[in-house]
A and B are shown apart, each in its own frame.
Chain A
């Protein structure tokens, strides 16, 4: 399956569009624009790093490069230059597709660049299967790259069905992340129109655009939806299908969406960059029915030691990079690291086994924050954990043990610790609250007890 070939074969592109906060383009024009043999030759069979600024350029380049490049590594937006460099190296990139908003000049020395505007004109008659490489939503340091095939990525999509008339997709996410890419592929394999978001755009402006373009199918994390539900512009939206993924969907947000969109199908999907789309739940209840455990078409789900495991053709193939960790176990299962608990006939999500905190879809490794706190004068040790939060699902909370001689003005100390973290950590990693405790539990092995923290 090649994206452009699928789109050309599907026909019926008339009237379909791709739009972002700046422009709207005919899908037919994007798919069948002029071809440039020189550009095509420069990209054929290459391992390509796609590092453009906006999603429109990313979408156009993905259509041009699938079937042409040997590997297509997607750089998510707003990544630090050193992380882009790591992705380039893990992907063994030979050429970088970028634009004025993509990679800063001087970054990625030695990697040839090609302007995205030129790349849109690439494409040849012969085609190969392109390996897609997606970045995980990174916890400490650099994100990991997971290799996928287009077939695997599209495995959860019913590509045989014709989309309902007038279907227009949109996503709060970026299409270079797994969840957003699912929406991009749903739109392209439909085919149907797609409205792209912009990371720095206020919720209100995005909702107004989505309303103006008559979006019918829309995806966001529970945190995106909580924000939208508090926006005065929510009434611009009249979707037939509302999808949630990327975080645990709780009953409150599911109920609020049901009230806001009584006509819509509301689905929460369980998916990850590594594990692919596991399943989708549409009964309006949090968690998932125990009947999903077992084997269904194309996917097998099991629970081992309270953790969810998946085996399917939709999972990533492997991690890329030097000395990559093993992604798939010998028996074919991927450990998702998501802890679940059975209550009656339903499983509920408890969080991550590793203690990773999910702040509105952005991951925080507790150890990274603890390392910063622990160097603060007077701090003996700390433990960082998730504090439930109705807006972002969770925020970061630190429990701190002070040295005996530490300053006794606890309120001032608390502020000072947070102020110390602010310039040293990304905003979502800075503790929202600090609690002082006398001691923290340590395992027999000398590690902080995190489970159930």
Chain B
């Protein structure tokens, strides 16, 4: 599974578990404008670390904070590239 589809699948899984209604997940979706709250976001980051070994939030520049789902995928993409290097 690609990183992008992993991120999408985990967002959908967490939203379902936490009983949050989500609009269709797209790259442009601003996660925090939906019902996906801080706890959902925290779970997502923890699970992505378990799945990919990457914690891009822990090591990123402060200006890199993701706003959209697409930003988040890009953040994990860059982290994966760094891990592989």
Q: Give the CA-CA distance A427 to B40 in the complex, in Å.
A: 10
What residues of A have a CB within 8 angstroms of the CB of B58 in the complex? Answer: 252, 388, 390
A 385-398 to B, binary, CB cutoff 8 A, 1 in contact else 0: 00111111001000
Q: Give the CA-CA distance A433 to B47 in the complex, in Å.
A: 8
Q: Which of B42, B46, B57, B65 contacts A360 (CB 8 A)?
A: B42
Q: Give the CA-CA distance A253 to B32 in the complex, in Å.
A: 17
User: Do A360 and B67 contact each other (CB < 8 Å), given the known contacts A204-B32, A232-B30, A232-B33?
Assistant: no
Q: Which of A230, A395, A428 contacts B65 (CB 8 A)?
A: A230
Q: Give the CA-CA distance A199 to B66 in the complex, in Å.
A: 23
Q: How far is the CB of A208 from chain B (nearest CB, A)?
A: 11
Query: Which B residue's beta carbon lies closest to that of A390?
Result: B57
A 228-254 to B, binary, CB cutoff 8 A, 1 in contact else 0: 011110000000000000000000110
Contact B32 A231 (CB under 8 A): yes
Number of chain A residues whose Cβ lies closer than 8 Å to a Cβ of chain B: 30
What residues of A have a CB within 8 angstroms of the CB of B38 in the complex? Answer: 223, 226-227, 360, 391-392
Q: Does B1 contact A (CB under 8 A)?
A: no
Q: Does B62 contact A (CB under 8 A)?
A: yes
What residues of B have a CB within 8 angstroms of the CB of A259 in the complex? Answer: 62-63
Q: Give the CA-CA distance A148 to B78 in the complex, in Å.
A: 50
What residues of B have a CB within 8 angstroms of the CB of A433 in the complex? Answer: 46-47, 50
Q: Give the CA-CA distance A391 to B30 in the complex, in Å.
A: 16
A 315-340 to B, binary, CB cutoff 8 A, 1 in contact else 0: 00000000000000000000000000
What residues of B have a CB within 8 angstroms of the CB of A258 in the complex? Answer: 62
How many pairs, one residue from A and one from B, have CB atoms within 8 Å of each other in the complex? Answer: 75
User: Do A391 and B42 contact each other (CB < 8 Å), given the known contacts A204-B33, A232-B30?
Assistant: yes
What residues of A have a CB within 8 angstroms of the CB of B18 in the complex? Answer: 427
Contact B62 A389 (CB under 8 A): no
Q: Name the interface residues of A118-154: CB closer than 8 Å to any CB of B.
A: none
Q: Name the interface residues of B38-78: CB closer than 8 Å to any CB of A.
A: 38-39, 41-43, 45-47, 50, 55, 57-58, 60, 62-63, 65-68
Q: Does A202 contact B (CB under 8 A)?
A: yes
What residues of A have a CB within 8 angstroms of the CB of B31 in the complex? Answer: 230
What residues of B have a CB within 8 angstroms of the CB of A255 in the complex? Answer: 62
User: Do A389 and B30 contact each other (CB < 8 Å), given the known contacts A231-B67, A259-B63?
Assistant: no
What residues of A have a CB within 8 angstroms of the CB of B67 in the complex? Answer: 230-232
Q: Which of A232, A252, A395 contacts B42 (CB 8 A)?
A: A395
Contact B42 A432 (CB under 8 A): yes
- Listed residue (A223, A230, A231, A395) with the most chain B CB atoms within 10 angstroms of its CB: A230
Number of chain B residues whose Cβ lies closer than 8 Å to a Cβ of chain A: 25
Q: Give the CA-CA distance A258 to B68 in the complex, in Å.
A: 22
Q: Name the interface residues of A364-405: CB closer than 8 Å to any CB of B.
A: 387-392, 395
Q: How far is the CB of B56 from chain A (nearest CB, A)?
A: 9
Q: Which of B17, B39, B57 contacts A428 (CB 8 A)?
A: B39
Q: Which of B30, B39, B55, B62 contacts A392 (CB 8 A)?
A: B39
Q: How far is the CB of B49 from chain A (nearest CB, A)?
A: 9
Q: How far is the CB of A326 from chain B (nearest CB, A)?
A: 35
Contact B62 A390 (CB under 8 A): no
Q: Does A58 contact B (CB under 8 A)?
A: no
Q: Which of B46, B65, B68 contacts A387 (CB 8 A)?
A: B46
What residues of A have a CB within 8 angstroms of the CB of B55 in the complex? Answer: 390
- Listed residue (A202, A227, A231, A432) with the most chain B CB atoms within 10 angstroms of its CB: A432
Q: Name the interface residues of B4-51: CB closer than 8 Å to any CB of A.
A: 17-18, 30-33, 38-39, 41-43, 45-47, 50
What residues of B have a CB within 8 angstroms of the CB of A97 in the complex? Answer: none
User: Do A230 and B66 contact each other (CB < 8 Å), given the known contacts A360-B42, A389-B46, A432-B42?
Assistant: yes
Q: Give the CA-CA distance A240 to B48 in the complex, in Å.
A: 36
What residues of A have a CB within 8 angstroms of the CB of B45 in the complex? Answer: 389-391
Q: Give the CA-CA distance A255 to B41 in the complex, in Å.
A: 21
Q: Which of A232, A253, A391 contacts B41 (CB 8 A)?
A: A391
Query: Which B residue's beta carbon lies closest to that of A227?
Result: B38
What residues of B have a CB within 8 angstroms of the CB of A387 in the complex? Answer: 46
User: Do A256 and B30 contact each other (CB < 8 Å), given the known contacts A392-B38, A432-B46?
Assistant: no
Q: Does A203 contact B (CB under 8 A)?
A: yes
**Other 11 A-B pairs with CB < 8 A, given A231-B30, A259-B63:** A226-B65, A227-B41, A230-B65, A230-B67, A256-B62, A256-B63, A391-B38, A391-B42, A392-B38, A395-B42, A432-B46
Q: List 29 A-B contacts (CB under 8 A).
A: A202-B33, A203-B32, A223-B38, A227-B32, A227-B38, A230-B31, A230-B32, A230-B41, A230-B66, A231-B30, A231-B32, A231-B67, A232-B33, A252-B62, A256-B62, A256-B63, A259-B63, A360-B42, A389-B42, A390-B45, A390-B58, A391-B41, A391-B57, A392-B38, A427-B18, A427-B39, A432-B46, A432-B47, A433-B46
Interface residues of A (CB under 8 A from B): 202-204, 223, 226-227, 229-232, 252-253, 255-256, 258-259, 359-360, 387-392, 395, 422, 427-428, 432-433
